[in-house]
Amino acid sequence: MGVIRKFGCAFRGIAEAIRVENSFKFHFAAALAAISLGVFLRISADEWAVLFLVIALVLVAEMFNTVIELVVKMMTQERNKLARQLLDISAGAVLLSSIASVVVGVVIFGSRLYRLLFPG
């Protein structure tokens, strides 16, 4: 498979995640909002780097969570302790990455927004 086809598959996978997974849609919208806020507040290059890393962390965690959900559904429709553990752990990974991104957002945007809303 050529490199261009591999990129095509990857972009199709991202589009599929946006299309089918509501949580991914939410995280994707939050990422766009954070990027817009970064542009508006003119954050530094270092802050951009950290912001993009946490955005990628959350989106990748959400995509892996979706993959695990799909595999579990493909393998069984029965209630299963191991399946529940897989789903809970993958959801926990998304939660941890989301919490980290909120902390980073507060650190990067917090003081700027405070000064903007409460000048002087």
pLDDT of residue 43: 97
pLDDT of residue 76: 84
Give me the domains of the chain, ranges plus CATH numbers.
3-117 (1.10.287.3610)
Arithmetic mean of pLDDT, 99-113: 96
pLDDT band at 107 (very low <50, low <70, confident <90, very high): very high
How far apart CA 70 and CA 87 sit, in angstroms, is 10
* pLDDT tens readout for residues 35-60: 999 999 999 999 999 999 999 999 99
The pTM assigned to this predicted structure is 0.89
Rg value, the chain, Cα: 18
If we measure between CA atoms, which residue out of 112, 101, 110, 111 comes closest to residue 50?
A: 101
